[in-house]
Amino acid sequence: MHSHIESILLVASRPLRYSDIAQALDADTSVVAEVIEELKARYNTESSGIHIFVVDDTVRIGTNPAHAAVVEQFMKDEIAGELPKAQLETLTVIAYRGPITRAEIEQIRGVNCSVILRNLLVRGLIEERQDEASFMPVYTLSFDALRHLGLTSISELPEYDTLRTHAHIDAVLAVEEPTDDDAHAA
């Protein structure tokens, strides 16, 4: 269970509640809390670059606060650099289809986008907020990204109206993931 929780924390784009982790692993919340305490004991040391942060009943993995200056310099260099192709593709999907969930982005791109989303959030190019209808986080282009692009509105993007409602993308998003019941019926 330790490695499962570590993996979940590494790919999560936001702090997670113990209950969310427990649900994902089909485990008791008390067991998750116990494992997180063990992970804190393992990682929250002076010699570790990784730390586990807990606030109330939420947890997040991050870098050792003692290394803040090194991380900050690296992030400045990283942010100042060009966007890798995967980040640029994801940013484009968010710009034209936002607000959009991570699952929808991944369905369009066909790959896991959690790390990419985290990097775009760190760069300040996208914003994450809870969608009141679905209770899922959704992503939109940030005001800083618009300003950086020299735009005052997202509708000023090239061919915005055409690409926002592209039939092929609508079809991709309309395809539902097969369930176990579907597999047994076949």
pLDDT at 147: 81
Q: What angle do CA 9, 14, 19 make, to 5 degrees?
A: 65
Candidates 28, 26, 34, 27; CA nearest to 52 is 34
- Write down the residue that tokens 């061919």 correspond to: 159
Q: Are 58 and 17 in contact (CB under 8 A)?
A: yes
- Mean pLDDT per block of 10 residues along the chain (186 residues) reads 91 84 93 95 94 92 88 70 84 90 89 88 88 81 84 86 75 58 44
Secondary structure letter of residue 19 according to DSSP: H
Instruction: Name, in order, each residue with C-beta under 8 angstroms of 81's C-beta and a sequence gap of 6 or more.
Output: none
Q: How many CB atoms lie within 10 A of CB 107?
A: 17
Q: Are 53 and 39 in contact (CB under 8 A)?
A: no
How far, in Å, CA of 172 to CA of 108, rounded? 6
Tokens standing for residue 35: 């494992």
How far, in Å, CA of 70 to CA of 158, rounded? 38
The model's pTM: 0.55
In three-state form (DSSP H/G/I as H, E/B as E, the rest C), the secondary structure along 145-158 is: HHHHHCCCCHHHCC
The residue type at 6: E
Q: Are 16 and 58 in contact (CB under 8 A)?
A: yes
Instruction: Name, in order, each residue with C-beta under 8 angstroms of 143's C-beta and a sequence gap of 6 or more.
Output: none
pLDDT at 183: 42
